């Protein structure tokens, strides 16, 4: 049933891709067709600078469900034997929305610890993990909503284009293989294909340790071009499914009363820096699409830097006109206007990572964005500090941390990261960050007095 007008609470359709980087939709768009994503971008708000909280499936999804950073919910890797399922928390997405009177349904990949949603996450599960049959289950469920009065939240969570991982390992693709053509017809290599000078040692160490998992260590340039071709075909599969979902909303008469959000849990290296998959703090891995369309949304691009992980929950709660937990670190997305709000204009965004392949103590990393700059620090190794003017150098080719002219900016970013880690009790990283020269006396002693 259509509900529009002042005071009406909208339906929410959250569509999740897996491993879809924003670069494929903007600065590295060659060789891909996405008419349905383009349709949403034309009618909605596109956040050009949306960053995940962690470039890995389980931590990023745990963060989205709870609106909190991964270290705050104790989910820092895909290894989760001792982790309490975040979706069972009473302050998680499904519980908060169902408690606000929404009918909540979930279809597809959960992977906020387990592949399938737990029974007590606040959702009715209408389709298990896997893309086969997912769209049909969702459109059938949507059709049934046309005759009800209660608003709904439907999460449609796809596996593609994550199956590029199987492609890189020469494994069968779960939803059908990709037919490769002449490599000369494949997309060109990205401008930042070669590893940059003064790159962090920890990154290449991870790649060498993960050779079997990543599958690309011995790739030739032509292999990388075919990888990029296959990745774009998988993105087109996701786009086709999105089109069916949008048509299902139209057929049910629910488009005008439904806010549609499209995003991803993380991106993919896609050949930049000779990297594939995720985990590293490269732009291709951490910047994702974030498109919002529907009632109350003013179309147009947004330059404001936002979090595709921790900002979605407070946004949905605001649209649902229900109380937001006071301690949530995220902000409601500025969808009503194209300008930046004071909160987003002055905001710092932090991305966390923990490499899966190395032996303890495992490599940790943080990236902090503020203004035009991106500061990255890993827990060990040569050139563990990275500093980029991310507006002038989105390909991260020039590490300003090794240039004395940028010492003041590096010190400022060190201080901002220290303050953020202290404020969020990021104990796992406090002990390995680089302290600014003007840190308050006793800071190091205070840090190491904290429990591990």
How far apart (Å, rounded) are the C-alpha atoms in residues 377 and 386? Answer: 6
11-338 CATH choice from 3.40.50.720, 3.30.70.100, 3.90.1150.10, 3.40.720.10 = 3.40.720.10
- Average pLDDT (129-155) is 95
CATH 3.40.720.10 in the chain, residue ranges = 11-338
The three-state (H, E, C) secondary structure of 260-317, written as one string:
EEEEECCCCCCCHHHCCCCCCCCHHHHECCEEEECCCCCCEEEEEEEECCCCHHHHHH
How far apart (Å, rounded) are the C-alpha atoms in residues 56 and 355? Answer: 10
Residue 414, preceding bond cis, omega within 30 degrees? no
Mean pLDDT, the chain, rounded, equals: 93
Burial of 422 (0-12, 13-18, 19+ CB in 10 A): middle
How far apart (Å, rounded) are the C-alpha atoms in residues 155 and 94? Answer: 10
Question: Residue with structure tokens 């053509």?
Answer: 181
CATH 3.30.1120 in the chain, residue ranges = 349-449
- Percent of the chain at pLDDT > 70 equals 95
- Average pLDDT (173-184) is 94
- Residue (of 155, 337, 159, 403) closest to 262 by Cα position: 155
- Give the pLDDT score at 338: 62
- Residue (of 255, 275, 156, 270) closest to 210 by Cα position: 275
Compute the half-sphere exposure of residue 32: CA atoms within 13 Å on the CB side of its CA. 30
- Check whether 340 has a pLDDT greater than 60: no
- Give the pLDDT score at 6: 56
How far apart (Å, rounded) are the C-alpha atoms in residues 233 and 333? Answer: 30
- Say if residues 322 and 96 touch (Cβ distance below 8 Å): yes
Q: pLDDT for 30-82, tens place per residue?
A: 899 999 999 999 999 999 999 999 999 999 999 999 999 999 999 988 876 67
- Give the pLDDT score at 2: 46
Compute the half-sphere exposure of residue 374: CA atoms within 13 Å on the CB side of its CA. 26
State which H helix or E strand residue 149 sits in. none
In the CATH hierarchy, which top-level class contains the domain 349-449? alpha beta
Q: pLDDT for 193-228, tens place per residue?
A: 999 999 999 999 999 888 888 999 999 999 999 999
Helices H / strands E in the chain, number of each: 15, 12
Q: pLDDT for 76-133, tens place per residue?
A: 888 766 777 888 999 999 999 999 999 999 999 998 888 888 889 999 999 999 999 9
């Amino acid at each position: 049933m259509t509900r529009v007008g002042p005071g009406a609470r909208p339906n929410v359709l959250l569509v999740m891709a897996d491993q879809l980087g924003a670069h494929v939709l903007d600065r590295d768009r060659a060789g891909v067709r996405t008419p349905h994503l383009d349709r949403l971008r034309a009618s909605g708000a596109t956040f050009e600078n949306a960053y995940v909280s962690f470039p890995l499936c389980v931590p990023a999804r745990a963060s989205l469900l709870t609106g909190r950073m991964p270290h705050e919910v104790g989910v820092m890797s895909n290894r989760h034997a001792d982790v309490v399922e975040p979706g069972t928390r009473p302050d998680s997405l499904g519980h908060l929305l169902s408690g606000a009177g929404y009918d909540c349904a979930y279809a597809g990949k959960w992977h906020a610890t387990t592949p399938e949603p737990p029974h007590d996450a606040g959702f009715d599960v209408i389709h298990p993990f896997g893309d086969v049959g997912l769209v049909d289950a969702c459109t059938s469920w949507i059709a049934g909503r046309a005759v009800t009065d209660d608003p709904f939240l439907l999460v449609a969570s796809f596996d593609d284009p994550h199956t590029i991982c199987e492609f890189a390992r020469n494994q069968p693709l779960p939803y059908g293989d990709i037919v490769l053509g002449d490599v000369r017809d494949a997309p060109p290599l990205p401008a930042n294909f070669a590893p940059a000078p003064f790159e962090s040692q920890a990154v290449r160490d991870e790649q060498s340790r993960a050779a079997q998992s990543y599958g690309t260590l011995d790739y030739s340039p032509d292999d990388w071009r075919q990888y990029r071709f296959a990745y774009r075909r998988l993105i087109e599969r996701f786009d086709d499914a999105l089109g069916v979902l949008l048509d299902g909303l139209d057929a049910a008469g629910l488009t005008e009363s439904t806010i549609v959000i499209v995003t991803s849990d993380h991106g993919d290296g896609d050949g930049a820096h000779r990297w594939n998959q995720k985990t590293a703090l490269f732009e291709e891995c951490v910047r994702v699409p974030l498109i919002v369309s529907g009632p109350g949304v003013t179309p147009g691009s947004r330059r404001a830097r936002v979090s595709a992980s921790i900002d979605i929950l407070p946004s949905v709660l605001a649209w649902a006109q229900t109380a937001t937990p006071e301690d949530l670190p995220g902000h409601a997305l500025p969808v009503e206007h194209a300008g930046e709000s004071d909160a987003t204009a002055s905001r710092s965004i932090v991305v966390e990572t923990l490499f899966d392949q190395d032996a303890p103590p495992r490599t940790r990393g943080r990236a902090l964005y503020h203004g035009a700059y991106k500061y990255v620090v890993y827990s060990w190794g040569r050139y563990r500090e990275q500093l980029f003017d991310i507006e002038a150098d989105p390909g991260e080719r020039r590490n300003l941390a090794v240039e004395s002219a940028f010492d003041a900016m590096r010190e400022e970013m060190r201080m901002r990261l220290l303050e953020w880690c202290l404020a969020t009790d990021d104990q796992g990283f406090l002990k390995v960050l680089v302290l600014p020269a003007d840190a308050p006396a006793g800071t190091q002693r205070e840090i190491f007095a904290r429990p591990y």
